[in-house]
A and B are shown apart, each in its own frame.
Chain A
Amino acid sequence: AQSVTQLGSHVSVSEGALVLLRCNYSSSVPPYLFWYVQYPNQGLQLLLKYTTGATLVKGINGFEAEFKKSETSFHLTKPSAHMSDAAEYFCAVGTGGSYIPTFGRGTSLIVHP
């Protein structure tokens, strides 16, 4: 079984500040890890993914995430927040044995001017 925990249903930052969205997972086998972004009334868009290899993954819009096996974490970061980053962010975990990913409950990122 696999599960995902996203710490904080809402995260508020000032424009230009560091963005850190936390994701912890549990999986009995090596995981595939994903971050998706959802803007209001739209579908989800893949930001980045980790499958194998380099543990620091770069995605679109300046976001990156680091897979830390020892901490079972896959936190999403961006050095400098922009107003356009305000959205809902979902972390998801999958495995090679199951094509059904498990999604976290989402974190709403609020960016203040």
Chain B
Amino acid sequence: DGGITQSPKYLFRKEGQNVTLSCEQNLNHDAMYWYRQDPGQGLRLIYYSQIVNDFQKGDIAEGYSVSREKKESFPLTVTSAQKNPTAFYLCASSLIGGSYEQYFGPGTRLTVT
């Protein structure tokens, strides 16, 4: 079955530690995205990538970093510089062209204490 996987589902970290969230897709999509979701604020775009080895900042990139070394993978690192990292993180992918509808992974809930 084609789809997007995110791991782990739940992640707990101590303040000051970097943490990497995994996102893999086997849909052969060119574009991949990372969103942060907080209650009542909808989805906010962190980073996105259209092709391998290239990515752009979204609306709230500060304190986050990404890489796109393979078409299938787009990991997100939440660094210690992110002031309020506790949130639900969603990865998505889409084709380039057409209507650009996005396919979402199941999400990772990160809790930092």
Q: Is B a genuine binding partner of A?
A: yes
The bracket for how many chain B residues form the interface is 20 to 34
Q: Is B90 interfacial (CB-CB < 8 Å)? A: yes
Given A34-B101, A99-B94, A99-B100, A90 and B106 touching (CB < 8 A)?
Answer: no
- Pairwise interchain contact A99-B96, C-beta atoms closer than 8 A: yes
Interface positions of A from 4 to 40, Cβ below 8 Å from B: 9, 32, 34, 36
Residue B48 CB within 8 A of the other chain: yes
A43 and B104 contact, Cβ closer than 8 Å, known pairs A104-B42, A105-B40:
yes
Query: Which residues of chain A are within 8 angstroms of B106 by Cβ–Cβ distance?
Result: 42-43
Q: Which residue of A lies closest to B33 (CB)?
A: A100
For the complex, give the distance between the alpha carbons of A94 and B90 in Å. 19
From B40, B42, B103, B105, A103 is in contact (CB under 8 Å) with: B42
Residues in A with CB closer than 8 Å to B100 are 32, 94, 99, 101
Q: Is the CB of B105 within 8 A of A99?
A: no
Interface status of B99 (Cβ within 8 A of chain A)? yes
Contact of A105 among B41, B88, B94, B96 (CB under 8 A): B41
Judge if B76 is at the interface, Cβ distance under 8 Å: no
Interface members, chain A 59-104 (any B CB < 8 Å): 90, 94, 99-101, 103-104
**CB-based contact B105/A43 at 8 Å:** yes
* Least CB separation from B48: chain A residue: A100
Residues of A that sit less than 8 Å from B by CB: 9, 32, 34, 36, 41-46, 49, 51, 90, 94, 99-101, 103-106
- 6 tightest A-B contacts by CB? A43-B104, A105-B42, A99-B100, A44-B104, A32-B99, A51-B99
